[in-house]
Amino acid sequence: MLMAARLERHVGRHVEIVYIDRRDRITQRTVVVLGIRGDAVRAYCTRKREHRLFRLDRILAVSLPGGRRTG
């Protein structure tokens, strides 16, 4: 659960994620992390302008806005 731990440190903040959606398309999204729920991240997606659940196993990378990697 390394990805969960990385995201948990940024609750309430904007992060950029690289994500594989359910149709296996790779997308990059800016989200506000709201919390971790089981195997998913609760977040507000700025692209869709709505609250979403993102599966942790589908998140490929996480960075801070401006390209700084989280760690």
The alpha carbon of residue 5 and the mean position of all alpha carbons in its chain are separated, in whole angstroms, by 12
H-run or E-run covering 20:
strand 14-20
Confidence at residue 3, expressed as pLDDT on a 0 to 100 scale: 86
What is the reported pTM? 0.83
Q: What is the pLDDT of residue 2?
A: 84
**pLDDT at position 69, please?**
61
Give the model's confidence band at 71: pLDDT under 50 very low, under 70 low, under 90 confident, else very high.
low
* Annotated domain spans of the chain: 2-69
Digit-coded pLDDT (tens) for 1-53: 688 888 999 999 999 999 999 999 999 999 999 999 999 999 999 999 999 99
CATH class of 2-69: mainly beta
